[in-house]
Amino acid sequence: VLHVLVSSAGVMPSPLAGQRELTSDGVEKVWAVNHLGHFALAQGLHSALRRGAQGRDGHGQGLGGGRLVVVTSEHGHKHFGSSGLGRWIEGDEAWSAFRAYGVSKLSNVLHAMEAGRRWWPTDGVAGIAVHPGIVPTRLGQTRDDDGVGVWLHNVGV
């Protein structure tokens, strides 16, 4: 039984990286980590979320449904429309670190919306996409010594 699943793990390559990396399965790495892993986990735990949504507290009261909470970014809905998404994932459009991150976050938003559309009416599981704002994490730091990631981290981006 699972009442809430929060999908929050992610990567952001250095803006200076300049080249697409693929997983061993041939999937664009940022999209695989930031979206595909979350999607697979949510699909795998859907039945546990359904059971959690149907659960009761100690007083016989319903718990108000299950929740799939996908932590996304404003980059998922501010900068990227859905047109051309398939071409980008397949590698037919120019790769950039910011675009890779944005497309992965757009995929998160679309996943939460579609999960909610499919799961809420039948299972009582809501799909929710949240943008936490600018949070001082190490996500934007880079392994390179270009200084950009360190500077962004220090100013809270």
Q: Encode pLDDT of 132-149 as tens digits.
A: 877 666 665 544 445 555
Domain map of the chain by residue range?
Answer: 4-154
Question: Mind telling me the catalytic residues?
Answer: 101
Q: Encode pLDDT of 42-92 as tens digits.
A: 999 999 999 888 875 544 455 567 899 999 887 666 555 555 566 665 666
Q: Encode pLDDT of 93-117 as tens digits.
A: 677 788 888 888 889 999 999 999 9
pTM attached to this predicted model: 0.75
Indicate the burial class of 81 (C-beta count within 10 angstroms; 0-12, 13-18, 19 or more). exposed
CATH architecture group of domain 4-154: 3-Layer(aba) Sandwich (3.40)
